Amino acid sequence: MHEFIRTEMLIGTENLNKLKQSTVAVFGIGGVGTFVVEGLVRSGVEKLVLIDYDNICITNINRQIHATTKTVGRPKVEVMKERILEINPKAQVIAYKELYNSENASKLLSKEYTYVVDAIDMVSSKLDLIQRCKQMNIPIISSMGAGNKLNPTMLEVSDIYKTSVCPLARVMRYELRKRGIEKLKVVYSKETPITPKNMVNDPNRRQTPGSVSFVPSVAGLIIASEVVKDIINK
């Protein structure tokens, strides 16, 4: 008996070994990204790369799995690495406390990655990461907007050019088309965004979205499921 016996019953020994031998990099360890990582490590993925420049803030407690009153102020990647190793001590985790951009792309992005997850907030960083993954033939899935939403049942997996309603997806469609990128798997919501009722002034963001525990988390777990299915069907 082992910790992944129930998963092995579902997907088989060969596919569980595929997951163990895969390296998945998750860019953005926030509301969506933490649940991507959670889903992956509990599925048997043993090699994970975590990229995020931020520290856990008290406002993260409402939706990010690594955020508690004990972890506020600590680097997100460091706390998530500890959580991974508590779930699976055999896991190999590389944590980069860095903001992904074109300047450090060569350090943070590797052709050795089996799969890349884009759970980044910044459009410029998302676009750069997607473009480089396409050039390097690294499979990538991208999260669209999970803020200002209340209904997790409205989340869908789609190609970016088949999306609608989501404001971030609209911007991404326009920018990716300009860059000649013909397809991109995404998770997005068809729910009409809710206008935040009490605006929070945050100098680091143009407009801070409202959020809840059960939309980013479900988006993250959907992404994890797509990564797992794609790896075992490869």
Any bridge partners for residue 205, and if so which? none
pLDDT the model gives residue 203:
54
What is the pLDDT averaged over residues 180-207? Answer: 83
pLDDT-derived band at 6 (thresholds 50, 70, 90) equals: very high
What is the pLDDT averaged over residues 24-50? Answer: 98
Q: pLDDT by residue (tens digit) across 137-187?
A: 999 999 999 999 999 999 999 999 999 999 999 999 999 999 999 999 999
User: Side chain identity at 173, as an amino acid letter?
Assistant: R
CB neighbours of 81 closer than 8 A, spacing ≥ 6?
Answer: 50, 93, 95
This prediction has a pTM of 0.96
pLDDT-derived band at 1 (thresholds 50, 70, 90) equals: confident
Q: What is the residue range of 214's domain? A: 4-232
Tell me the pLDDT of the chain averaged across its residues: 96
pLDDT the model gives residue 204:
54
Spatial separation of the C-alpha atoms in residues 59 and 203, rounded to whole Å? 15
pLDDT-derived band at 234 (thresholds 50, 70, 90) equals: confident
Domain count, the chain: 1
Q: Strand order in 92-96's β-sheet?
A: 92-96, 47-51, 23-27, 115-118, 140-143, 185-189, 155-159
pLDDT-derived band at 205 (thresholds 50, 70, 90) equals: low
List the CATH number of the domain containing 201.
3.40.50.720
By the 8 A CB rule, do 220 and 32 touch?
A: yes
pLDDT the model gives residue 78:
98
Kindly tell me if the per-residue pLDDT of 197 is higher than 90: no
CA 81 to mean position of chain CA atoms = 15
pLDDT the model gives residue 2:
92
- The DSSP 8-state label assigned to residue 198 in this structure reads S
Angle at 30 between CA 72 and CA 230, to 5 degrees: 145
Q: Which helix (H) or strand (E) holds 188?
A: strand 185-189
Q: pLDDT by residue (tens digit) across 66-101?
A: 999 999 999 999 999 999 999 999 999 999 999 999
